[in-house]
Amino acid sequence: MLKRLTIFIILLIMIKPAYDFSKEIWDKAVQWINENEIAQNIENISISDIKESTKEAIQGTSSTISALQNTIHLPGKVQSVEELADAFFYHFSQWETDFEIQYAGDTSNIEELIQQAVEEASQRDHYILGHLGDRKVALSYGKSKASIKVHQQYLTNAAYEQYVDEQVASILSQVNANTMSDFEKVKFVNDYIVKNTVYSTNTVLSPHSAAAVLREHKGVCQGYALLALKMLRELGVETLYVVGEVHTGPHAWNLVKVNGEWYHLDVTWNDPVPDRGNAVRYQYFLVDDATMKKDHQWKEGNYPKATSKTYAFMAKMDHAYEQDGYMYYSNVQDNHRLYRLNLSTGEDQRLTKSRAQYIVGDGEWIYFSNYSNGAYLARIRTDGSEESIIYREKVSNLLVQDGYLIFATDDGLKKLDLGTF
């Protein structure tokens, strides 16, 4: 286009070089250049280009995000960086792959304005941010206006996100968020995702998406963290999406605010590999920065600090089962023996010397796979008395449902009527 315009101007001057005429034509040509388009392509911009966001941008609260979601609109005119960000955010929130934005204003630094607007729009909602893929921007502009054509890729689409919304609503209908503490909400989300997901890249949908984790019950760290973000946000827990690294490479997890304090939550690393069914770990459940730094790295200046060690006791828990204000768990710091923790007082008690896994409960009884005795099915009262073996076969994946104790054996699933004991 520039070449064609240059030739056009030269030809005009050559036709009549007299100053009076050529100046008039020249002025008109300059005006035409300023008012019309100079086409330019901006090379691919990947999601990595927006990782260097500021601390202020990345620390949006849940209430702010909720307010944004309720007021998402496409501005009628785009004349500033903020309005340009509004437009990008609108199209991102609709999961649109191809869209065009008309900008009216000074275009002398238009590429910088676009990059700034994209960064601002991306940080408004971490759930959208985590699902953004590569984008291509085709830009045509004059001195005071620009046409911005965008091809945006996502790890999901509008149809899959409708499915995610429906599934999350269904899952959360199982609990009464109004009566739950922040701790209980985080534990519910952590446990649900771990118990219902296998870490895998072998998915039809992108394994990095929340949709794959819900629909196929498989995914990788990004999908785990994005689904956790979605669920916790719906439960009213302030949650951020964190991008960093571990020894195997790039990694994603969450920061959550519980009782006014920030904590790290790595749902992926709380899910044992290879998968152990209903087994849930808590080594990376509500931990502080210092603990997380032992095997995680992230740009600390981009995120709020997590200094509280209030829930450090969770790291010793495996196969945890919560009932009536107590946590029954396999203590990894004591050879996986069965313990009980009073969540109100913090009092910890060993119930038996037996090593326990796949812990569940019903009323006054706790059931578990006794790894000190052939992994046979055992039960014990909640106060630690009357321990006994009730089924002499190796069992795993215990579940109490509708008055039955369901468990896996080498011969398949079996169930016992709890009313017969």
Residues 300-319 have pLDDT tens digits of 999 999 999 999 989 999 88
List pLDDT tens digits, range 20-62: 334 444 455 445 444 554 455 544 444 434 333 334 434 444 4
The phi, psi pair for 371, rounded to 5°, reads -80, 0
What percent of the chain lies above the pLDDT cut of 70? 82
* Residue 416, Cβ density class (10 Å: 0-12 exposed, 13-18 middle, ≥19 buried): middle
Domain segments of the chain as ranges: 1-36, 39-154, 158-420
**Residue, of 7 and 158, whose pLDDT is higher:** 158
- Comparing CA positions, the residue from 391, 393, 385, 379 lying closest to residue 416 is 391
pLDDT in tens, 213-265: 999 999 999 999 999 999 999 999 999 999 999 999 999 999 999 999 999 99
Query: Which tens digit of pLDDT belongs to each residue from 152-173?
Result: 999 999 999 999 999 999 999 9
Residues 6+ away with beta carbon under 8 Å from 194? 267, 270, 271, 279, 280, 281
Give pLDDT, residue 274.
63
The pLDDT value recorded for residue 421 is 74
**Residue pLDDT, tens place only, 98-149:** 999 999 999 999 999 999 999 999 999 999 999 999 999 999 989 999 999 9
pLDDT value, residue 31? 53
Q: What does residue 71 show for φ and ψ, rounded to 5 degrees? A: -125, 25
